[in-house]
Amino acid sequence: MNRITLFAALACALLLFSMLGCGATNHLRSITLGASLVNGVAPSSQPGFVSLQGIGGTIQLQAIGTYSNGQTKDLTGEVAYTMIVDPIYNVDAFGNPLPAPPQTAEISATGLVTAVDPATCTWIDTSSDPTKPSWFYVGAYMVTATFQGITSQPLYVPVASSGGVVTIGNPNGVCDAPTS
């Protein structure tokens, strides 16, 4: 074997090992978007949504990245957040279209969602029994987080910052949301 062939073989082997990285690849695979404490209490136990309550009410989002080596990292301050009106559930309790952010709900670069004016209610009580409410949201904001070309699953944010619809099941016109 001559020196050129030996050199080429060694160069190829070195290139192969450097590309493999000894199995220690560490590429972002997914981002999970959730909420940490909401107004000092744990968020809803129903995955995928969290209710924003009261003018000035806040929700702190948390973005967790999962990497190809199985490790996770808090990316909350590194992701870019996007908040839009949910294309399907997009009205308030009175049937009016939800205004686009930053009206009603705004989001900061650090993932803090805040209820602002104009106030709205996207929850309706579908029960005919005033002693047993059955809350359902008819409108929400959809939030995603993006980092290194990876976008999280959507997190839906219904809003309860104003009065709701007066019905048989909701004679006082409250706007509420399930707590669990």
CATH number of the domain encompassing residue 93: 2.60.40
Residue 38 has pLDDT above 60, yes or no: no
Assess if residue 171 is contained within a domain. Answer: no
Residue 77 has pLDDT above 90, yes or no: yes
Report helix, strand and coil shares of the chain as percent, to nearest 5.
Answer: 10, 40, 50
Q: Which residue in 46, 34, 37, 51 sits closest to 158, CA to CA?
A: 51
Range of the domain at 100: 25-160
Assess if residue 144 is contained within a domain. Answer: yes
Assess if residue 7 is contained within a domain. Answer: no
Assess if residue 173 is contained within a domain. Answer: no
* Residue-wise pLDDT tens digits, 45-63: 566 888 899 999 999 999 9
CA-based R_g, the chain, Å: 24
Assess if residue 180 is contained within a domain. Answer: no
Kind of pairing, strands 150-151 and 139-147? antiparallel
* Residue-wise pLDDT tens digits, 90-146: 999 999 999 999 999 999 999 999 999 999 999 998 888 878 888 899 999 999 999
Instruction: Pick the range with the lowest mean pLDDT from 18-22, 52-56, 66-70, 118-122.
Output: 18-22
Residue 166 has pLDDT above 90, yes or no: no
E-strand stretches of 68-172: 72-74, 80-90, 105-107, 112-115, 123-125, 135-137, 139-147, 150-151, 155-157, 159-160
Assess if residue 78 is contained within a domain. Answer: yes
Count of structural domains, the chain: 1
- Residue 44 is predicted with a pLDDT of 55
Instruction: Pick the range with the lowest mean pLDDT from 2-6, 60-64, 125-129, 152-156.
Output: 2-6
Assess if residue 174 is contained within a domain. Answer: no
- Residue 131 is predicted with a pLDDT of 82
- Residue 169 is predicted with a pLDDT of 72
Assess if residue 54 is contained within a domain. Answer: yes
